[in-house]
Amino acid sequence: MITFEQSLDIIRENIAKIIYPSHPDQLYAPIRYILDLGGKRARPALVLLACNLYKDDVSDSIQPALAWEVFHNFTLMHDDVMDHADIRRGKPTVHKVWNENTAILSGDSMLILAYQILAKAPADVVKPLLDLFSKTAAEICEGQQLDMEFEARQDVTEEEYLEMICLKTAVMMGACLKSGAMVGGAKMTDMNLLYEFGINLGLAFQIKDDLLDIYGNPAVFGKAIGRDILCNKKTYFLVNALRLAGNEDKKSLLNWLEASSYNENEKIRGVTAIYDKLLLKQHAEEKMKILYEKSLSSLEMVDLPERKKTVLYEFAKQLMEREH
């Protein structure tokens, strides 16, 4: 059995080995750039861990794992163009270093590269992997589309919010686990349980992300607090605040959303005060707990000795307890 850390090491080592054509350099350099920015690499690590549940040798799952990581970074490259984001992992985004056209076209090449890497999986699983990969990729685009549409709406329901984060974030966690299990030779019921485990954990992960943006410890969080508040992102908090706030608070909240000039700290304090008053931190923690428990009950049903699953229980626990 490999540990989560060992899995990350294998991923890092193999990302460094990806070979890019050298010509035209302007097309491939941005791909190298964004992949070299780092990131948690948790998704591809999950592919290896899920494979390892069924097989000691995880080498067959390395290429599918890389395909997911390349795909994930492709979405970041295009999302940054669409969101006009200047900074990614503390560095200028691709369209800032180069330009928008380069970010669009290199992103396209990167999506194709992800498929090329995926096709290196063992022949007997290429077809089901390909179907899962494409289905999930399409869903992630749908999630991004909903996220953009929500920007202009103040009436997003919690259900719609959950659908959006499921598509944009959670399905990939589920699909990473499922593809590792697929390469490992798991039976269908296990693959689907691992997928469900990933989905619910992914939902909880995203709500935690929303929570840390507001209540994270600045010393530990590593990013500025309140960025979602400043850009009016439809988070679990904002969606529920718009739904639950009384007349006066709702008016105040809408004022903050529509304000074109303001003091940043004041806006963060003002919006957070409304969240506090509505006990949304407790709401979110409650919701996360439900999702976390749902995820664990799927994992419990996976037909394997408990000791095999320890690494995934640990991963889930750490995701819930993370402070950054």
Residues within the interface to a copy of itself (CB under 8 A): 21, 23-24, 26-27, 78, 81-82, 101, 104-105, 107-109, 111-113, 115-116, 119, 123, 126-127, 130-131, 134-135, 137-138, 141-142, 144-146, 148-149
> Least CB distance from residue 168 to a copy of itself, whole Å?
12
Burial 188-224 (b: 16+ CB within 10 A, else e): eebbbbbbbbbbbbbbbbbbbbbbbbbbbeeeeeeee
Judge contact between 180 and 47, C-beta under 8 A: yes
> Least CB distance from residue 166 to a copy of itself, whole Å?
13
Q: Which is nearer to a copy of itself, 48 or 146 (CB)?
A: 146
> Least CB distance from residue 161 to a copy of itself, whole Å?
14
Q: Which is nearer to a copy of itself, 26 or 59 (CB)?
A: 26
Q: Which is nearer to a copy of itself, 45 or 117 (CB)?
A: 117
> Least CB distance from residue 120 to a copy of itself, whole Å?
10
Q: Which is nearer to a copy of itself, 99 or 282 (CB)?
A: 99
Judge contact between 209 and 288, C-beta under 8 A: no
3-class secondary-structure state, position 160: helix
Q: What whole-number distance in Å separates Cα of residue 245 and Cα of residue 251?
A: 9
DSSP 278: T
> Least CB distance from residue 157 to a copy of itself, whole Å?
15
Q: Which is nearer to a copy of itself, 130 or 257 (CB)?
A: 130
Enumerate residues 6+ apart whose C-beta is below 8 A from 113.
31, 70
**Strand ranges (DSSP E) for the chain?**
87-88, 91-92
Judge contact between 44 and 65, C-beta under 8 A: yes
